Amino acid sequence: GNSVTQMEGPVTLSEEAFLTINCTYTATGYPSLFWYVQYPGEGLQLLLKATKADDKGSNKGFEATYRKETTSFHLEKGSVQVSDSAVYFCALSPPGNQFYFGTGTSLTVIP
Amino acid sequence: DTGVSQDPRHKITKRGQNVTFRCDPISEHNRLYWYRQTLGQGPEFLTYFQNEAQLEKSRLLSDRFSAERPKGSFSTLEIQRTEQGDSAMYLCASSPLGDEQFFGPGTRLTVL
């Protein structure tokens, strides 16, 4: 079956610290992988995606690489800002199909 | 393009009442999805449509839940005889025939 396991939170970091949020998955076939972000009071927004093995998705300084051998899609950012405080969701989707989400990781960045 | 919209944003109801939520997808998006999100959890898939056809509904939580997309544009999600356990955020997403989904702001349901 399809599922996503995401690093538990909450995570608290100081501004300019390095961020890693771990995500591993199980899937049938060849899914696409996504990171969505949910800012306080707002809806889910796509942060980045990767559609095949070894692809790297990147956006706003965040990166994640689709690792088929380790079934992982870890989210990283070299230097977080206060404005990055949000809940981050890892998700997978067989092509054209529903999304399977992780439980979310809450990130708080303090000045 | 104003994105996916949902109405109402908040709904408070008494146990046993029926509620209906509306979702307006991004125009020309063929696929429309409904999800439920409870506190501290990721969104949980409920059902989806391609145009007006409901292609998957086995994940609807019970027979009290139903969804329609009569003209292949907006969609409604109805919950009959609401229970306190139905309290959650109900999310709608739309997608062209591809893999990225665009989410609306959600409808927060509180059942008293």
Tell me the per-residue pLDDT of B35-86, one tens digit each, with 9 for 90 and over: 999 988 899 999 999 998 888 877 777 899 999 999 889 999 999 999 999 9
Chain A environment of B45 (Cβ under 8 Å) = 98-100
pLDDT, position A42: 84
Interface with B, mutate which of A23, A51, A98 (most B CBs under 10 A): A98
Residues of B with CB under 8 A from a CB of A: 4, 31, 33, 35, 40-45, 48, 56, 59, 91, 93, 95, 97-106
Cβ contacts of B106 on chain A, cutoff 8 Å: 43
> In the prediction, which pLDDT does A8 show?
83
Which of B41, B45, B98 minimises the CB distance to A96? B98
Instruction: Spell out where A1-104 has E strands.
Output: 3-6, 11-14, 19-21, 23-26, 32-38, 44-50, 56-59, 62-65, 75-77, 86-93, 100-101
3-class secondary-structure state, position A82: helix
Position B1 confidence tier, pLDDT thresholds 50, 70, 90: low
Nearest-CA residue of chain A relative to B5? A43
Q: How far is CA A84 from CA A38, A45, A52, B36, in A?
A: 10, 13, 26, 25
Low-confidence ranges of chain A (pLDDT < 50): none
**How far is B105 from A76, CA to CA, in rounded Å?**
26
In this prediction, residue B56 carries a pLDDT of 80
Give me the residue from A34, A95, A99 closest to B45, CB to CB. A99
